[in-house]
Structure 1
Amino acid sequence: MANTTPGQDEGPGLLRIAPELRNEICELTMPKATTIQLRAVKKPGDASTVHFQPTLPPLYYVCRQLHQEYPLFDYYTKNTFLFTDSIMKAPVLEAFVTARGEIVSLINSVKVNVTKSDLSVLAISSDAGSVYPVRFSLVKTESGTVIFTPSRDSILCLCETKQLAEQSSQRRLSLIAILQAFVAEYAVLDTQLTRTDHYQCADCSRTKITLPQADRDKGEMQLELLRSLDRMARARGG
């Protein structure tokens, strides 16, 4: 509920109406039950900074008071967020979390659709230049259970991601943390494409990747670090 503050009649006209009506206006500007595709872009002349689209609704940026009282809880909990090629890279995904803050841990529904070789694991094939698309969804229920659903046309084994999703209620992992773990798991393959073995997973019959030992150790350390950090963050929030 928005509150009237001293001196607000000197600000934008929206602040001079009843708080209840202002809240209703803000809620009307929020996307309702939609899928929001996230993109990472670099603006011309500003190649050192990654910007994320879409930006939050314009009213969020009008002034400090609207920034504080805007119903972002509904924005993140009621929409599905689609993560595509440009954002599914370890440093970019980390920059997204940093830019949006801890509130992204409220996201309850995500879809991943990576079709290019930005994740090196997608390029592993006996045929040079072949690309394996990765598509899956994560949905967190009201009870905290995470439902992991890979696409039927998925070629790559996603058993580790599925296992992490199944353990998320005990580990108190957010969906964003699961995505970060997924990216960390495969990002270590950047320089190993021609030397990495792949075979059929015994559990899901899809293409399984074998990391060289040094990279496997690095990947496991990254995963455990992400899990530990997320547990601590959730514990502080709880």
Structure 2
Amino acid sequence: MRSVEEAPLLGLDGARPFSAPKPHWQGHRERLRTKLVERGAGALEDYELLETLLFAFIPRRDVKPISKALITRFGSLSGVLAARPADLTKVAGVGETVAAYLKATSEIGARASRETLQARTVISSWSALQTYVKQEMQHEGREQFRVLFLDRKNQLIADEVMGHGTVDHAPVYPREIARRALELQASSLILVHNHPSGDPTPSRADIDMTREIIDALDALDISVHDHLIAARSGVLSFRSQGLI
């Protein structure tokens, strides 16, 4: 004989009750997962792709409004992944745990891009370089100056931050860059910095500073292949603009 705990619950009239209908978002999740598996991630809109991440982090709630609110607040999918945890948690439905998982997802993408870049000849892999630079820097809230140090085969030795600054200026010291290039035995390098304003157009100061770095490295027989400026609207190359 079954115990009371094992017996099925009955309605007031002794009949088995109807099972409660599934929440509407459960069916949506199943349809979106099927779309992803059968048609590939490229078939999903940005907010849908973000939804699929949130499925795992928020298991019992409709996450479409949260996904759309995140993209609206931060402007794009990449903006969401680049946002600080403290800013992510200002969106309704996003707690510290979800913010941490989103940052982990962002870091996975960044490390994968870096591995791709390290495995290739950098100057002949413009698309990989552009993807890496955009992912790392386009949403930085302050100016940041980085240097990609390359070996004789133009493969990446190191990517290092050489200066942090304000929203419109990052101090750069050519002699420090030259010293570090010698320490790493680099044969060439690529300069990279960001414009938080969103416009990658170089300023007069950007152009003059680039020339100072080139002059400092010329005596050491270390070449500057390019200077890239990353912004929300894209990545600008000094070389393609005839500035180097």
Q: TM-score, normalised by structure 1?
A: 0.29
Q: TM-score, normalised by structure 2?
A: 0.29
**Rg: which structure is higher?**
2
